[in-house]
Amino acid sequence: MSSEWLRCVVVFLVAVPLVKAAPQPNIVFIMADDYGWHDIGYHGSEIHTPHLDKLSASGVRLERYYIQPICTPSRNQLMTGRYQIHTGMQHSIIWPCQPYCVPLEEKLLPQYLKEAGYSTHMVGKWHLGLYKKDCLPTRRGFDTYFGYLLGSEDYFNHTQCWHIPPKKRFCGLDLRDGEEVATEYAGDYSTELFSQKAVNIIEKQQSNKPFFLYVALQAVHAPLQVPDKYLEPYSFIKDLDRRIYAGMVSAMDEAVGNITAALQRTGHWENTVLVFSTDNGGQTLSGGSNWPLRGRKTTLWEGGVRGVGFVAGPLLNQSGTVNHELIHISDWLPTFVALAGGSTNTSKPLDGFNVWPTISYGAASPRLDILHNIDPLYFDDTPCLGRTPRPLASGDRWAKSGFNVSIHAAIRFSNWKLLTGDQGCDRWFPRPGENTSEWRQISEEPQNPVRLFDIVNDPEERNDLSDQFPTVVNHLLTRLYNYQKTALPIIYPGEDPRCDPSATGAWGPWT
């Protein structure tokens, strides 16, 4: 053995020491419901969010983080890592009596994490289907579950009522502990109840086994309900809906604080990655605000799809930072599976990316584009001011791309965002407490079926550049066309009256 070769070996071993593999981190994902862009303290809100502000300030705030514009699609993409066009769920949400769920052949996030050795737990709102037992959370990878299978429940008595035209109206309890109906929690406010259940789970975890905890809070979705104690700081808010909504946000902020405190108290915090995310933009009809972004929940405008989100925990390498890289809700599955040391190689093709290097180290995002959606069945059932949406102008000039521009769709590529078809409520709602008439101004002209924005420099989507950059438009329409060729047929069955919960008094599987 030459002395030169030996010297090289010694230098290599000194320069590159052997590193023991890091332990698998606990993963806690907290999802808010209908939480608006403007409704967190660090975005200038009048609503107090001290726990969220402090937690995010010590972590990484995600300022170009995107979700879907309504409940089920966001949860679907979180759980599958795949765009909704690739699971057949590109239209609307799962309504209480629709007999379908996330396709059973789709492998969900907790299933990957269980394979990697994690215990898996869920508290809160499922909203991914319940018509048969195989659709339930406990059959899709969660060891334990406590929460709602549907959405929009009463916060105190946990019931849900649903109407099937013309005359059928069904009401029942919607609260489960595992697969059993939970009847003993009447009067418990769901935000407080869910946070306490999450705390109980954390307190039972052993330090030698990693865990995944998904807390899908009902807050701050309608109905607007909150204990009086949370309203007291907001007497200055004149609008009643906004005042109640603010109280609901404060209750949610306290819940996140309690969950975080439990992680710290039990010693789990030092090995935990915590993510906070909204599921879609705020609903301006129920007290939410996305100011200064355009639109609201249900739309593909930034107010519907640009979400409040941050990552916290001691495992971050660049804490106390603000991240402006492109990140999408479908990215959490591959990111978490990578952190867990698992593999997605045997899964269906994912649309998400591992963005941990982007979040923790500040690397460039691996993501160049986001398909916000392609939904040929879309219609806006909550038009601005109660008026019928304006008709679309002719899109013949864009026919060369092959994409039908009358279809409700949007795509983000680099700094560009393209929207096609009817985009629903397209207003800029005023900042809460301000009285402006801008959002009430309605043009009588037909809608342009194609709109292009430089979303980095124009995040409020005020300057349509489609006429100035036709080459960019055609490029993005071609990308939409290629995406559409990969889309599965839409799953959206009619409602089944056999869903009637009257026989048992509770919503649950009926087939």
127 carries an active-site annotation: yes
Instruction: Please indicate whether residue 101 is annotated as part of the active site.
Output: no
What is the residue-wise DSSP string for 260-306? HHHHHHTT-GGGEEEEEEESS---GGGT---TTSS--TTSSSHHHHB
3-state secondary structure of 477: helix
Choice among 38, 43, 91, 127 that is catalytic: 127
Write out the two tokens for 320.
Answer: 């106390």
Contact partners, residue 378, CB within 8 Å, separation at least 6: 91, 407, 408, 421, 422, 424
What CA–CA distance (Å, rounded) separates 212 from 217?
Answer: 16
The catalytically annotated residue of 43, 51, 71, 97 is 71
Our separate counts of H helices and E strands in the chain read 10, 18
Q: Give the residue from 370, 278, 297 showing the smallest Cα distance to 331.
A: 370
**Measured distance CA(189)–CA(399) in Å, rounded:** 53
* Residue 419: CB atoms within 10 Å: 27
Can you give the three-state secondary structure of 491-509, one letter per residue?
CCCCCCHHHCHHHCCECCC
Q: Tokens 């959606």 sit at which residue?
A: 373
Bridge partners of residue 453, in order along the sequence: 417
- Dihedral sign (CA 33, 189, 286, 505): positive
Task: Name the residue with tokens 């700094």.
Answer: 415
Positive or negative, the Cα torsion across 112, 114, 118, 123? positive
Tokens 């301000």 sit at which residue? 434
Taking Cα atoms as reference points, which of 412, 437, 385 lies closest to residue 326? 412
Residues with a catalytic annotation lie at 71, 127
